[in-house]
Amino acid sequence: MAVRKPVPGQIENRNFLAPTGFQFQVNRAPKISYFGQMVNIPALDFNVATQLNYLREIPLPGTMIDFQDLTIRFLVDENLENYMEIQNWIRGIGFPESLQQIYDFQREEYDLVQPDKSQLNLYSDGTLTVLDSQNLPKFKIVFENLFPTNLTTLEFDATQTDLEYFTAEVTFKYTIYNIREISCNPCT
């Protein structure tokens, strides 16, 4: 039996990417990673310039890319440890009660990565690992200089009849993200 040669430009791997195949790690907030339920690869918006013409405006490629926000949804543990990681981070960089809060926050050390001293310890990197159809790492999306900008409300309600565990969402701004293929031969 003759082996078919792949046709140039055709897709060789016919498996689809599953929305459940991911792992996410924020260096400064490792406790949200374990209970992570949702994360997005943010959209890119490319600005467009226009060239005036006597008939109409002609769109031309611009010069700036706008990276949309990174959002993570996670289950909140009953000790509020993962929720407080993010809340303390926002309070530390926002110092709502006194300037001492930001000084204390900048002196904090987190275990996974040594902070860059030039960044005043306000940021963290994060990595989204995308898994293939066999749950093996296929890509890493590395986010540089993350910082949280929003943490959702936890709303207690005694009138609920069904037990639904708390989830929270955190929104991050960042400098840039890059998608890198992971070469595995073989991964175990």
Structural domain boundaries in the chain: 22-40+62-159+168-181
Sign of torsion over alpha carbons 123, 125, 126, 130 = positive
CATH topology of domain 22-40+62-159+168-181: Pnp Oxidase; Chain A (2.30.110)
- Which runs of consecutive H residues, i.e. helices, occur in the chain? 31-34, 81-94, 100-107
DSSP β-ladder status, 137-151 and 124-131 = antiparallel
pTM for the structure as a whole: 0.80
Q: What is the pLDDT along the chain (188 residues), one digit of tens a residue?
A: 566 666 677 777 777 888 888 999 999 899 988 888 999 999 999 999 999 988 899 999 988 999 999 999 999 999 999 999 999 999 888 887 888 877 777 777 654 444 455 556 789 999 999 998 888 999 999 999 999 999 999 999 999 889 889 999 999 999 999 999 997 655 55
